[in-house]
């Protein structure tokens, strides 16, 4: 039995801790803040409650696997997991409204034909079909296996974009170019908005970013009653069941090195914690973690910043309201049908998330105006609002500059990959959204399987099955 110290209590770190505890190790998590979950938090005021991080779960199989591998009770017995249907509503700049069903290729095609004319659904299906090819080609190396030593091959875009007849492409197309060439007009705007919501700039993101809407349409969009914070609570409770220890209010100053390997932690208060192995579940830049030789560099600050506005509304949530609306310009409006989010049935809690270009700082008034496109009569119903900025995210989670990592993607010369889960210091590993395979609940959760496999099985570990 090894003593393992985990830095941070985010989702990837806790997923790692639970799996290592099941393998018989003595695991203790050290968290600078007062609670678990990292970005998956909950804000409460006057009987209203809001998720501070992700509002939906995609690819729930990652967490189903975690719960199957770490205890007797499956995920669905620990949280109330429900499919969101419709999956998303788009409100386009010209006023067009398109509502797409959950996990239904045929239903999505029919809705697009109705909105944009015959053939629109087929064009959308063709693009997501090519995205499926990219997903099939990269699913294991990007999600289920440790980062391969020759990761540079993942810098080639796997999306089989169409070639213009008679012309040779000098470079792979960006996601924005795929949207323009293969979809065109407002239909292309749907694809751009879906990718922008992940914090990626469609003008520079590779065509392989189309795997993100493919993943949503194929595996569905899911909500946890009580908010996504309830998922973090379930993972934390699973850790406690497996005898994982948690020490809150314990910031880490540095990783202790002894005899050429990680040997523990130096806490902010000066205490030294001995360990046989260390898992860093926070941004490695925050602790100057030495990355593995030849590993992709630690990702710099996200090119687009995230702002979140919490809205407390008088009046019940309308029966025809949709959980998620993309209102254009990187604005997502979340309207969960969840009694736990409001003081009573006569009120509604709405969350507005905005992904903005560098240097932009949206105001609360501007976000209210954008959200009004998705919530008719919003201003008349508004009781109060509260804006959460990147500085607030940094204060709450310790993330450098309040950045929120996007999922890893193939293409773009490898610049959208993350550092390997191993490091230059033996016994020191990276988990969470700032390590391979990147950010987002599914990807961060997969680091648990990858890091636990590397520690338990050693260098011979080839990935989860």
pLDDT per residue as tens digits for the range 304-332:
778 999 999 999 999 999 999 999 989 99
Categorize the per-residue pLDDT at 443 as very low, low, confident or very high, splitting at 50, 70 and 90: very high
Residue reference for tokens 């680091």: 447
- pLDDT of amino acid 163: 56
Point out which residues pair with 252 in neighbouring strands: 267
What's the pLDDT score for residue 94?
Answer: 86
Q: How many helices (H) and strands (E) does the chain have?
A: 13, 20
Residue 274 burial (C-beta neighbours within 10 Å; 0-12, 13-18, 19+):
exposed
Q: What percent of the chain has pLDDT over 90?
A: 86
Query: Is residue 303 scored above 60 in pLDDT?
Result: no
Q: Which long-range contacts (CB under 8 A, 24 or more apart) does 65-69 make?
A: 65/449, 65/464, 66/15, 66/18, 66/19, 66/235, 66/238, 66/445, 66/448, 66/449, 67/234, 67/238, 69/19, 69/22, 69/449
Q: 42 phi and psi, to 5 degrees?
A: -140, 130
DSSP symbol at 74: -
Please state, for a pLDDT cut of 70, what percent of the chain lies above it: 97
Distance CA 434, CA 12 (A): 10
More confident residue, 171 or 420: 420
Q: What is the separation of C-alpha 173 from the centre of its chain, rounded to a whole number of angstroms?
A: 24
Provide the pLDDT confidence category of residue 170 given band limits of 50, 70 and 90.
Answer: low
pLDDT at 298 over 90: no
Maximum CA pair distance of the chain? 68
Q: What is the pLDDT of residues 95-112, one digit of tens each?
A: 899 999 998 999 999 999
Output the six-digit token pair for 276: 């046989």
pLDDT score at 167:
44
Could you report how far apart the first and last alpha carbons of the chain are, in Å?
Answer: 24
Both tokens of 334, joined, read: 């979340």
Task: Report phi then psi at 201, rounded to 5.
Answer: -85, 115
User: Does the pLDDT value for residue 358 go beyond 80?
Assistant: no
pLDDT at site 398: 79
Question: For residue range 192-239, what is the model confidence (pLDDT) as tens digits?
Answer: 999 999 999 999 999 999 999 999 999 999 999 999 999 999 999 999
Over residues 239-259, the mean pLDDT reads: 97
pLDDT value at residue 169: 53
Cα 131 to chain centroid, rounded: 19
3-state secondary structure of 135: helix
pLDDT band at 168; cut points 50, 70, 90: very low
User: What domains are defined for the chain?
Assistant: 3-38+60-78+226-299+405-460 (3.50.50.60), 105-219 (no CATH), 302-397 (3.30.70)
Residue 253's nearest CA partner among 235, 265, 237, 241 is 265
Alpha helices (runs of H) in 243-363, residue ranges in sequence order: none
**DSSP 8-state code for residue 415:** T
Model confidence over 204-213: pLDDT tens digits? 999 999 999 9
- Please state the φ and ψ torsions of residue 138, each to the nearest 5 degrees: -120, -5
- What number of other Cβ atoms are within 10 A of residue 165's Cβ? 5
Task: Write down the H helix ranges in 153-263.
Answer: 175-178, 185-196, 211-219, 229-241
Question: What pLDDT is recorded for position 166?
Answer: 44
Per-residue pLDDT tens over the stretch 21-78: 999 999 999 999 999 999 999 999 999 999 999 999 999 999 999 999 999 999 999 9
Q: Work out the number of other CB atoms within 10 angstroms of the CB of residue 334.
A: 23
């Amino acid at each position: 039995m090894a003593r393992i110290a985990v830095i941070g209590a985010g989702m990837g770190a806790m997923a790692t801790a639970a799996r290592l505890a099941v393998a018989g190790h003595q695991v203790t998590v050290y968290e600078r803040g007062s609670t678990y979950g990292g970005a998956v938090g909950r804000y409460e005021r006057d009987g209203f409650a809001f998720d501070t991080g992700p509002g939906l779960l995609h690819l729930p199989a990652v967490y189903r696997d975690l719960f199957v591998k770490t205890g007797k009770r499956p995920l669905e017995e620990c949280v109330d997991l429900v499919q969101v249907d419709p999956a998303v509503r788009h409100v386009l700049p010209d006023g067009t409204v398109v509502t797409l069903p959950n996990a239904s290729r045929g239903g999505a095609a029919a809705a697009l034909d109705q909105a944009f004319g015959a053939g629109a659904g087929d064009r959308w299906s063709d693009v997501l079909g090519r995205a499926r090819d990219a997903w099939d080609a990269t699913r294991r190396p990007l999600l289920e296996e440790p980062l391969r030593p020759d990761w540079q091959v993942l810098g080639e875009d796997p999306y089989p974009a169409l070639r213009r007849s008679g012309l040779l492409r000098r470079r792979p197309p960006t996601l924005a170019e795929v949207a323009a060439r293969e979809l065109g007009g407002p239909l292309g705007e749907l694809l751009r908005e879906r990718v922008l919501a992940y914090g990626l700039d469609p003008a520079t993101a590779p065509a392989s970013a189309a795997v993100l809407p493919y993943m949503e349409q194929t595996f569905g969009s899911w909500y946890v009653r009580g908010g996504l914070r309830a998922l973090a609570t379930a993972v934390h409770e699973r850790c406690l069941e497996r005898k994982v220890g948690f020490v809150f209010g314990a910031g880490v100053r540095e990783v202790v090195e002894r005899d050429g390997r990680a040997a523990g932690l130096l806490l902010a208060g000066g205490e030294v914690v001995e360990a046989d192995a260390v898992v860093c579940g926070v941004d490695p830049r925050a602790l100057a973690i030495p990355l593995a030789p030849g590993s992709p560099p630690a990702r710099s600050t996200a090119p687009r910043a995230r702002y979140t506005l919490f809205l407390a509304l008088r009046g019940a949530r309308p029966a025809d309201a949709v959980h998620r609306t993309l209102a254009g310009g990187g604005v997502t409006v979340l309207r969960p049908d969840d009694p736990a989010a409001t003081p009573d049935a006569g009120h509604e809690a709405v969350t507005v998330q905005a992904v903005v270009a560098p240097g932009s700082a949206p105001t609360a008034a501007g976000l209210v105006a954008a959200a009004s496109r998705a919530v008719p009569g919003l201003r008349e119903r508004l009781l109060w609002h509260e804006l959460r900025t990147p500085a607030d995210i940094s204060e709450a989670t310790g993330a450098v500059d309040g950045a929120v990592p996007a999922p890893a993607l193939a293409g773009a010369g490898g610049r959208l990959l993350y550092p390997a889960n191993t490091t230059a210091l033996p016994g020191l590993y990276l988990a969470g959204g700032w390590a391979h395979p990147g950010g987002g609940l599914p990807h961060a959760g997969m680091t648990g399987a990858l890091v636990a496999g590397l520690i338990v099985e050693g260098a011979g570990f080839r990935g989860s099955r």
